Amino acid sequence: MDEADWTGQRRVNAESEKAAARAGCGIPGVGRLRAIRGVAAALLVLIAAPGAHAAGPPWPDTPMARLEALAVLQGFNADLLSHPSATLTLERWCAAHRLVPEGRIVAELDRTVEKPATAEQRAHLRVSADELVAYRRVRLSCGGRVLSEADNWYVPGRLTPEMNRLLDETTTPFGRAVLDLGFRRELLGAGLLWHPLLDGWEMQPGLPAAGHGALAIPDQVLEHRAVLLTRENVPFSEVREIYTADVLGFAPPQP
């Protein structure tokens, strides 16, 4: 190669190195580092996204794990049914199952949704057609895990001014805001939205065969509908609560 060719080749190599540096390639590890940073940024967006469900430890798709998941869901359902405040029940559940170090429930308000009370709901609340019924949609989360999504129709005129302020201006969960009413629940309906074992499994000669990989748990696993009444038995709220897969967001029991 003569001197002119050699000089030209050096210029080409220099330009190539500059282009590689700008693109993050040609320097060992830079391209991979940028790719890792991109994936990490995407994960942070997903974790911070409102209403995102955190991925808990996977449950294996085995007959025993399905039986355990059913038992856990039925126990959780019984816990909800035996206490008036879903908020406090979720806090106890979150702490007992170590979903986060501190089981504090936070309400994330969704102000983009409006659902006027139906005639049936007004009858449940014992209000007239023109009496104000407010609506509040929230996600109740514990350490970034969304445990439930709730629709709440309530009568502001039956709450104290401070309760209404908390509900209007803060992210205080409804159950904590109205705790001083000494309320109780009157159940309208409750049921599993996911059945780990098929109906009638107990009458079969054996449990279903194991699947491959992790157990597929849907986003929604349980629904409750109830009317809340004061200690004087005055209805002031109707709620519809959907509980998510994150209530099972802990490591499954080990044999």
Q: C-alpha distances in angstroms, 31 versus 23, 35, 38, 81, 128?
A: 8, 6, 11, 54, 66
State how far the alpha carbon of 41 is from the alpha carbons of 50, 56, 201, in Å. Answer: 16, 20, 44
Same domain as 132, residue 89: yes
Instruction: Give CA–CA dist 41/55, Å, rounded.
Output: 17
The identity of residue 176, as a single letter, is R
- C-alpha 166/C-alpha 170 separation (Å) is 5
**What are the pLDDT digits (tens) for 140-179?**
998 889 999 999 999 999 999 999 999 999 989 999 999 9
Number of domains the chain is built from? 2
| Span 195-223, pLDDT tens digits | 998 777 777 777 777 778 899 999 999 99
The percentage of residues in the chain with a pLDDT greater than 70, rounded to a whole number, is 77
Read off the pLDDT of residues 25-40 as tens digits, 9 standing for 90 and up.
Answer: 333 333 433 433 333 3
Q: Which of 47, 67, 83 is the last residue of a domain?
A: 47
Say whether both 40 and 126 belong to one domain: no
* Residue 63 shares a structural domain with residue 34: no
In this structure, the answer to whether residues 215 and 121 fall within a common structural domain is yes
Q: What's the pTM value of the predicted model, to 2 decimals?
A: 0.75
